[in-house]
Chain A
Amino acid sequence: MQKIKAAIVKFFGTNCENETKEALETVGFDCCIINSNDKNLDNYDLIVLPGGFSYGDYISCGRIAKFTPVIKSIIENLKKRKLFILGICNGFQILSEAGLVKGALLENIGGRFICDDVELEFMGKKFKLPIANHQGRYYIDDFEKLKDYELIKYAVNPNASSYDIAGLYDKNKHILALMPHPERNMITPFKPQNGRIIFEFIKDTIEKEFYGII
């Protein structure tokens, strides 16, 4: 099978697009960086909203980005075809603002930015990834609302997120939203290859669910 095509969306203020691209390429994706005005997503099976501070996080994180053409196009595409969406950090915030995942992201307790390595649990695997956010405290009022989701959980909750949630995976819509940064833990020498767990999961899922390759 030829390489899976992925688009990484760069909004003004996005700052993780290059390392995210490099990480995806390492795992075998064919990537390009597109901007917030690009509406035509027909070529892609994966759309990535990378980390950063889209539109300066002004008003609230992700609040302005959700009004861009690319997000509208993502919503349209999801209605009519299979498409995998990955939101990392600011990408998670945008997905939550756009109503594409349930729950909200609030300011960390103490109002401080937190950059740290955290232990995670996802689909039976335990591994460490870095987090770096200011508004990363996941909040949901009712656990029942998460029944369609596979959860990525913190082993030790760094910021009082509801139910220790670090990320969510919507099994039906193929939307993965993560506060931790998988791309930061694989492309540099000396780093463990933990980020691969996430990107390979995405690749396997697309191959299996979209193309029936087992």
Chain B
Amino acid sequence: MELYKKLNIDEKVFQNIVERLKRLPNDFETYLFSAMHSEHCGYMHSKKYLKNFYTNKSYEDENAGCIQIKNYNLFFKMESHNHPCAIEPYQGSMTGVGGIIRDIISLGANPVCLLNSLKFGKIKQDKTKYYLSEVTRGISTYGNSVGIPTISGETIFDERFLDIPIVNVLALGLVKNNEIMLSKAKEDALIILLGSKTGIDGLDGASFASKILNKNSSRTSVQIGDPYTKKKLIEAVLEINKLNTTIACQDLGASGILSSTSELCYKGNCGAELYLDKVHCQFENITPIQMMLSESQERMAFVIKKEGLNDFKKIAENYELEYSIIGKTIKGNSYKVFYKNELLADIPLNVLCEPYLFDLKRYEEKTITKIDTIKSLKETFLDLINDENFVSKKYIYSQFDEEVQGRTAFSQKENAIGIQYLKETNSFIAIAAKTTVDLSAKEAIKNSFLYLYRKLVSFGFEPKGITNCLNFANPNRKIVQTDFLDTVNELKKLSWEFKIPVVSGNVSFYNENETAYIPPCATIAMLGCAEDKKNIIKPQIFENNYIYYFGEMENNSNDFDYETKLKEIIFSLHKRNLITAVKSVGKFGIIGTLLKNSLFYNIGFKIKANNDLYFKKYPSGYILISENVISNELDKNSFPYSYLGRYFGDKIKFEDLEFDLSQINQIYQNKLYSEMEK
């Protein structure tokens, strides 16, 4: 069999390479193409469709995008690490965190928080327990050690993720406007590799993540993390990126040396000469191909001016980090790789970095007809309190250090939102992630978007920016193409309508194995800002507080008008001290939302609402909590509202039903722990 076939390069892709190269690539070059023209590095099935989001153009081709607060830029990005986690969940989740941190520090940004979005099978399954405990431990070990707080996250248990866990992690970092480091090289400079030695872990990781999982999926494709070295690397990189002799910086992630050095030069319109014998390696007989494709962790690539070498050395030595000068940038657009004076590859960078792009097509939509069996209110309530998706996720979040760096303003872990104070800008940020997996692709992304918008509003934050992580199955499936296109088109529409920039994104295809594939699983994270402490609604609930349900979108009304008007009203109620808490409503309806508060503040409630509203999923209104009657105020605007009841006592009461709060609390607090200890 020909090499390119063995390396899983698509026929069309290979023909395209040959045409543009005007010759056949040699074997070494074919290996390079197999990595750079993989889905993971090349975004071949998605790239055409990721344009035209509403965005603040400035850093579109960088490792992450940003929003501005005063004279600082907040870079944030989310990434998937699903394939490695399916094979080796501890190392997989560690290096997922490690990878996204590198994207942030390469821009010169100081990482201030992490967030995650996880999907597993049902908790009763042994496999789920294994994945959950190992993924949580991995994120915990890595994030905690490097001193970046994990401030929020979501975990979904759903049988469709049993064999294919989804692990998405987000990092956010802060950098002064004039200290941003880009990944664009300039000619006649040194290319330096800093950090851990190059070994053979994570070898071929990019290709591995670009096909479906099968019984041959190898553990050696998974990278191994070293948070201790990373902690030193973070500090060193931020110092190096402040030197005015540093031209560009890029992290070594998928396809390690190959993709980092080629992209640095391609973006900077120059060429490169690499001398692989210079690379500092874990052992002597590592081959040139292995060096190029290794995904050994905790490495960064820099392009620096020759006169900056001494300063660079000094910083590396201070942190006891190894480095090697592995090449130089040159005029032109050739990417040349030498090993022991032999020229192994000479490829024009545009051919190497611009793979063939596939077209996707929208096929007839498969309608999901999921009929919920009609249950009594009592049955629905009992299901709710035992639902593993409803109960406390403390088992997970208590393993994450939320407070390191001392920025957390107040903890909202039960509400899955992180609220941080940034002393650099004297302002606050809030960030949360959401995935909807029980609606059609188009409805799901819209639901997640509006849900996060309302969630930020309910804490008094102005929504400012979005990132996304789009997890799908094999893009050759018709249903996957349709779902993917529906997702990105809807997100484009929403971002334009609300003028909320999509600052960065990530696509992960091939989330399937030989027997199953995941449903469309588009995760978005939304960032909100509050310039003033006074704007923030820190929820407080006291005995005898009043409960209102406010708003409800009419079928033909415009999303943007409805949401922004409600937001303004809520902010104004807060400014006038008329409300003590605001709650957006999620999957478990108003009962689920009110109950979460009851459990947190240890106060029961009694309410009366329309029968359909109690458990209605994702209704468009908010719950308002107040110390006094606010009907007069709510009458002043045109949106519907209803008075539901009050918080008091130690019982949950609605219609003719009554439940003991302390009993519910037992289940709520202990369910995950007891399942995990079984």
Contact = CB atoms under 8 A, between A and B. Distances in A.
A7 to B, nearest CB: 19
A115 interface: yes
A58 B228 contact: yes
Contacts of A121: none
Interface string A11-32: 0110110110011000000000
A112 B141 CA distance: 10
Contacts of B229: 56
A181 B403 contact: yes
A188 B144 CA distance: 20
A135 B323 CA distance: 33
A211 interface: no
B122 interface: no
A163 interface: no
A181 B149 CA distance: 14
Contact of A13 (B145, B399, B406): B145
B231 A13 contact: yes
Contacts of B397: 115
B552 interface: no
Residue with the highest number of chain B CB atoms closer than 10 Å, among A22, A115, A187 = A115
A55 B228 contact: yes
Interface residues on A, range: 20 to 34
A16 B228 contact: no
Contact of A116 (B320, B398, B404, B533): B398
Contact of A113 (B228, B231, B399, B410): B399
Contact of B409 (A16, A56, A134, A190): A190
A73 to B, nearest CB: 20
B227 A56 contact: yes
Interface in B132-147: 137, 140-141, 144-147
A188 B421 contact: yes
A79 B365 CA distance: 79
Contacts of B410: 190-191
B228 A12 contact: yes
A183 B228 contact: no
A55 B231 CA distance: 10
A181 B410 CA distance: 15
B411 to A, nearest CB: 8
Contacts of B677: 110
Interface string A42-65: 000000000111011110000000
A115 B405 contact: no
Contact of B406 (A52, A117, A188): A188
Interface in A179-214: 181, 183-184, 187-191
23 contacts: A12-B228, A12-B232, A13-B231, A15-B145, A16-B147, A18-B405, A18-B406, A52-B147, A53-B228, A55-B228, A56-B227, A58-B228, A112-B137, A113-B398, A113-B401, A115-B397, A115-B398, A132-B404, A134-B144, A184-B404, A184-B406, A190-B409, A191-B409
Given A132-B403, A190-B421, A190-B536, 13 more contacts: A12-B228, A13-B231, A15-B405, A16-B147, A51-B404, A110-B677, A112-B137, A113-B401, A115-B398, A115-B399, A132-B401, A183-B406, A188-B406
